[in-house]
Amino acid sequence: MSQTSTLPKSHKEREWLFGKAIQTRIPKGGHARFESYSDECLELASLEADQPRNGWGTAAMNIITQTADEFKINLMVIPAGINKAASESLENFYRRFGFEGEDALHRSHQ
């Protein structure tokens, strides 16, 4: 989908199309799960690599953010690790992709 004029106006329809696109675009080696957070935002509920620290998460986030921009989807994530250091590491990771805020990080489509 290259022209935004062909996108449905309904957020729910764009959300559905975004989900279908992510299924085909995200690299093998892990999974991402999304949940509808509001009428304006989609939550990245989980992002898990089969083998952490091998670049899969970065590759997946590049695709996720590019696809969110394409489909005009705002994203939200709550960076919750197993301890404070892990949560801070996750927060820094998501900030590299344009997420901003406190506690729940938000990224508006470009």
Complete domains list, the chain, with CATH: 9-107 (3.40.630.30)
Query: For position 3, what pLDDT does the model report?
Result: 46
Q: What is the mean pLDDT of residues 41-62?
A: 94
CB contact at 8 A, 107 and 98: yes
Structure pTM?
0.87
Looking at every residue in the chain, the average pLDDT score rounds to 90
| 12: pLDDT strictly greater than 90 | no
Quickly list DSSP for 2-38. Answer: --GGGS-S-HHHHHHHHHHHHHHHSPSSEEEEEEE-S
pLDDT at 40 over 70: yes
Q: With pLDDT > 90 as the criterion, what percentage of the chain qualifies?
A: 71
Average pLDDT over residues 84-108: 93
Q: How far apart are CA 78 and CA 46, in angstroms?
A: 9
